[in-house]
Structure 1
């Protein structure tokens, strides 16, 4: 009987505890939970004067708390102080980190009163009026780490107030849940602002290209639009002005500047001055009002400034929608996307305005409505600008077609002149052979058989004849290579042995100049090339390296394998080449420093490049500058055995 009475007593106490108002909405997370919405468990008390203390709220006025019904609490613009009460039991997750999170980042003041275990409360204060560095966790939301030392159900109080609209989205979140949701929100936020940034950069390039002032005003709109959304998402305080939270109060002015840009953009986009002077006059008046209100917003305190900017945005967007619709009906086809853009933006701003007035509940849709409307407006406005370009382009098609025809004819004339030049040079080279053969007769005269006054002249004639003969033969060789249509036959070649043979042929010159020439190409390396022409190219490169190296200098021949390509390099420590001349040395008849050189004609490197390209390779030169040597590179396909 005694056990039965004890059981009845314990059961009665337990039922009384369940029926107690303080414990009726106990939130008890389990280890499997990641995030729990606290909205169903919240109790609300409104302090109209804002004078009540935590001692009064937790004792004298404790019975005045009312259970919150519905979704997340949204109080709109209010001067009252909102007290919230919630009861949490963290016994099942004592070994894990849990957090109380206010997801909406635009609240002036939040005070969390958590039990200290001795009948009192510890208070923690956060808000967007405080520097960002004072937060316990550096995230855009307001996050309170909860203690794991308290046992059983504990009652927490939160005091919320501010000059802006009060929207609360309180969550109880584990560490993993907080990380996952923060990661998801960063992806969504990154996609949103990434799209805005892409549109910004895209239109900057278009403005630079077409120099249309419509793009400039559109850039002003996007820039301040982005700043305003950074503000209402808490990212401005986190990244742009963390030490100056007062800048958050200038949100209405930022919105005003974006509206100034979009009004001017509309006037330029539609061409209202020519198409509809009356509508242009209306927008000029609207522009003046927007500029005036934007300036006044700096001095007008919230929440009046917030009400004024919401009203101004709705009036401006509605007016722009009507003006663009009339332009569309009047035959301006590009305005159809413009009308659709402002419809999206008007819906998003309207939903957000009703949310701030407390007429709509605070949820994902209403909170992000201006984001959805804004990003669609930006995309559609960009498409509308592209459509406008197409319309303008269609008006210029006739002029463009005429210009294209004239340009094509000019290109054909230039190409014909280039072919005529090559033909003339080739013909000239052939014709020079006859007088050069006549001059060769001067070699039959013996120096001792000539009068002294003619001996020097004959010697000069013989030198000139030799140079002209070399010029003609080299030029003809270059013209033959440049004009051939069939590539040479290719085979597997071993460049190490080709270089070795070329160095033996030049051993006397190398010794005379005391040069150190090292062949570092692997003996088993093979490339796909025409062996005869590759030998000729390597000979040209070695000759240049030997000629332009200082006496006693070093010349290195090496190979670098990269994937299926081989780069043969001939490096010398000679006079080097200026960066602006690295490509010009492959132009016919170009010589560094002078148009005339005693030992060359500026054709060896152009001929070498032509031959390498016919083998399917590439050729280029590298040099840090004058006095730092030159490396000539030949890239060829690697032979796959």
Structure 2
């Protein structure tokens, strides 16, 4: 009997302790802080049937079934069950702040929060990504419910969550103002992240157009997959893209996940050239591409829970297989796999951490939540290095092949020289007689005569070609009559150093605007003229074909096209051009200017104003990621109230004078100050006479092409 009594007392004590433990789970709220993490304060009841109602939960039997979660982060993976959470909140001195209950996982389908009003009646509030976004009381990507904490004392909240996505319920109670502050900070972070992806997308589209390499196309698929996946995982598609169609909130996650897997395999297949280095890897990639593509299609028809599990399984296989493929190909001698492997190790490590977090293996924290974004940022940098390293290896292989060809050619030349020497010796021995020597001299004289005639003919041909090039250059220069009719107040001082010029001027006239450029190409003479033809052609293409009329954007495009036309990414070519480009907006009487090293001068009320161009040329070496020029705007004011000048550096760099020094920029400025009020033709004559006198005094020849354009509007 005593043993039975002791046993009853022991069981009663255990039950009281357990009951006290369950009741002791509460969150104490005050105005001392504005943010409370409450995931570890709730009690959980799993509902595998998904049929329990609030009345069932309030029943004594079920109420006692609530237990503290084994996983303090409330992460149950892809379970398919419904979950009831009980949260006790004790408010004291909360003031007039508005409080909300936030669920820090945007993909939860249905969330119902039950609370009691002042009369003890239960009321329900619903949210989740399966409801239209407009029905949310708070405009935020995470599901958020307003709660009333103005009544001091203990309140109990029952929360029912049912979702087909990962059952993870990180929860916070916070003040609305604190929520908005956090929203602003995270928008900046995600803005930077998505901005990087979008910039990389645009950049690689341009690279794809330039190099026509399939690797870039499939890399674009991976970037698009990342954009869709991350924007869906973080609730941005439901908030901004499909707010009225909740079906796509979860579906876009599968689309992004499976599309990313397909892109990863295609990119790895072509970039690593697995058909050449490891056939079994190639076969595996083809099979996985088929499975991921099939999963992409099936995800629209099969249950979401099953589709999610299968998609995650394929993503894990994709992660592991891609890393294996990189190691295998690297071991087979493909050096381009080094940076590729490093890039995907970072990226796929982040993906694996995210997947393991979603299935409940890893806890929810800052690293696991943003591991994929961190890995993706590192992957972008390393893949850029991988693509550059691939082309570096290609260039070295090409140089090696060229060196081998030169070696073969050198050996052939040596063999030929030995044969010539042997033949000469034989002829010398056979032709000892004087008459044969005379015959050889006669033959030699005839050959010299022929060579002399050939040289003279070549000189005539070269001179004719240069004169023809002059006519061609003159033909593509703007019509002076057109410029005079559209721009009455102007002059053009154009003095090539040689027959043809590396400087040229360009003019475009439309009803509502005029465009005028002074361009200084690398070199002068025939090489400079060839560059000027390229520049004139590209300017016409950019403005007349692509309809780009903003000066700085024209220079951006011109720079890229010059580098592409001269293949400067793959070669040591550093040719380019400096120029000053003006657009006259006739309707708004505004002059827009952009310059590549060359400035714009203009006089306003007798004062010289210098608008400097950017300190970088068009074409040539580019160390920055993208060359961007600056647009300047100058109001024209009253008609003919300002005089503008654009020019090349030939005038100011000309040597002369008694000291045989350069004319200099300061000399040009002083001269323009003296003459800027004169009629345009008088200014042109004074500029031409001044530089001619300058060269005569120093007995100097013209060293560069000279181009100065002045105009008034």
1:291 partnered with 2:337: no
Corresponding residue for residue 108 of structure 1: 109
Residue matched to 1:36:
36
- Does 1:358 pair with 2:404? no
Q: CA deviation at 1:278?
A: 4.0
1:170 aligned partner: 171
State the distance in 2 between where 1:159 and 1:179 align: 25
- For each residue in 1:272-309, what CA deviation from the matched residue of structure 2 results, as whole angstroms up to 9, or x when unmatched? 33344443233222222222222222211121111111
Structure 1 residues 378-393: aligned runs within 5 Å: 378-393=380-395
Give SS of 1:89's match: strand
CA distance in 2, matches of 1:135, 1:232: 18
* Number of residue pairs matched by the alignment: 447
Distance of aligned partners of 1:67 and 1:200 in 2 relative to their CA distance in 1, 3 Å threshold:
same
User: Residues of 2 paired with 1:28 and 1:608: CA distance?
Assistant: 88
The range that moved more, 313-322 or 560-569, is 560-569
User: Any idea what SS the aligned residue of 1:84 has?
Assistant: strand
Contact 1:23 1:153 in 2 (8 A): no
Q: Deviations over 1:36-71 (max 9, x none)?
A: 111232111112212221122123322221124553
Tell me, in whole angstroms, the C-alpha distance in 2 between the residues paired with 1:121 and 1:612.
96
Cα deviations by residue, 1:54-112 (Å, 9 ceiling, x for unpaired)? 12212332222112455321111122211111111233113111111111111011111
Q: Given that residues 39 and 169 in structure 1 are in contact (C-alpha distance below 8 angstroms), is that contact kept between their aligned partners in structure 2? A: yes
Specify the alignment match of 2:259 in structure 1: 257
Q: 1:183 corresponds to which residue?
A: 184
Deviations 1:129-160 (A, max 9, x none): 11111111111011112224423111111101
For 1:146, the equivalent position in structure 2 comes to 147
- Go from structure 1 to structure 2 and tell me whether the alpha carbon gap of 1:126 and 1:334 turns closer, same or farther (over 3 Å shift): same
What SS is found at the alignment partner of 2:159?
strand
Preserved contact between residue 94 and residue 150 of structure 2 (Cα < 8 Å)? no
CA 613–80 in structure 1, closer or farther in 2 if over 3 Å, else same: farther
Between the aligned partners of 1:604 and 1:276, the Cα distance in structure 2 is 76
1:507-546 equivalences in 2 (<5 Å): none
- Show the 5 A alignment for 1:487-566: 559=605
Closer, same or farther: CA 274–155 of 1 in aligned 2, 3 Å: same
Query: Structure 1 residues 206, 610: closer, same or farther in 2, change over 3 A?
Result: farther
Instruction: Give the distance between the partners of 2:636 and 2:375, measured in 1 at CA.
Output: 59
Match of 1:209 in 2: 210
Checking the alignment, whether the CA contact within 8 Å between 1:40 and 1:69 is kept in structure 2 is: no
Alpha-carbon distance in structure 2 between the residues aligned to 1:342 and 1:331: 18
Is the contact made by 1:128 and 1:245 (CA closer than 8 Å) also made in structure 2?
Answer: yes
Deviation at 1:233, TM superposition (A): 0.7
SS in 1 for 2:361: coil
Q: Where in structure 2 are the equivalents of 1:388-427 lying within 5 Å?
A: 388-396=390-398
Shift of 1:168: 1.0
Change (3 A) 1:246 1:605: farther
CA contact (8 A) 2:228 2:255 kept: no
In the alignment, what sits opposite 2:58? 58
Alignment of 1:578-593 (within 5 A): none
Output the CA distance in 1 between the equivalents of 2:50 and 2:394.
Answer: 61
d(CA) in 2 for partners of 1:162 and 1:168? 11
Shift of residue 163, structure 1, vs aligned partner? 1.1
Q: Say if 1:43 and 1:85, in contact at 8 Å, map to a contact too.
A: yes
SS in 2 for 1:387: helix
**In structure 1, what is the Cα distance between the partners aligned to 2:635 and 2:357?**
67
CA RMSD of aligned residues (A): 4.2
CA distance in 2, matches of 1:42, 1:569: 72
394 and 569 in structure 1: CA distance in 2 versus 1, 3 angstrom threshold: farther
SS in 1 for 2:605: strand
Q: Secondary structure at the match of 2:266?
A: helix
On the 8 A contact 2:101/2:174 being kept in 1, the answer is: yes
Correspondence for 2:486: none
2:140 aligned with 1:94, yes or no?
no
Q: Judge conservation of contact 1:253–1:298 (CA < 8 Å) in 2.
A: no
Partner SS, residue 102 of structure 2: strand
Task: Say which SS state the counterpart of residue 389 (structure 2) adopts.
Answer: helix
Q: Deviations over 1:291-341 (max 9, x none)?
A: 222222221112111111111112122222212212212222120111122
For residue 604 of structure 1, report the CA deviation from its aligned partner. Answer: 6.9
User: TM-score when scaled to structure 1?
Assistant: 0.62
| Number of the residue aligned with 2:559 | none
TM-score by length of 2: 0.56
The residue that corresponds to 2:512 in the other structure is none
* Aligned match of 1:246: 247
Q: CA deviation at 1:559?
A: 3.4
Shift of 1:568: 9.6
Check conservation: 1:481, 1:607, Cα contact below 8 A: no
How far apart are the structure 2 equivalents of 1:610 and 1:139?
A: 69
Go from structure 1 to structure 2 and tell me whether the alpha carbon gap of 1:244 and 1:620 turns closer, same or farther (over 3 Å shift): farther
Any idea what SS the aligned residue of 2:285 has?
helix
Question: In the alignment, what sits opposite 2:136?
Answer: 135
SS at match of 1:345: helix
Structure 1 residue 167: deviation in Å?
0.8
Conservation of the 8 A alpha-carbon contact between 2:96 and 2:150: no
Sort the Cα spacing of 1:559 and 1:567 in 2 relative to 1 into closer, same or farther, 3 A. farther
Q: CA deviation at 1:118?
A: 1.7
Match of 1:346 in 2: 348
Q: Secondary structure at the match of 1:138?
A: coil
Contact 1:478–1:607 (8 Å) recurs in 2: no
Q: Is the 2:107–2:250 contact (alpha carbons within 8 Å) kept by the matching residues of 1?
A: no
Matches of 2:43 and 2:30, distance apart in 1: 22
Counterpart of 1:72? 73
Structure-1 residue corresponding to 2:221: 220
Q: Distance in 1 between matches of 2:494 and 2:159?
A: 88
Give the 3 Å change call, closer, same or farther, for CA 567–66 of structure 1 in structure 2: closer
Residue number in structure 1 paired with 2:194: 193
CA distance in 2, matches of 1:260, 1:154: 50
How many angstroms does 1:383 deviate by?
2.3
1:327 to 310, 326, 329: 329
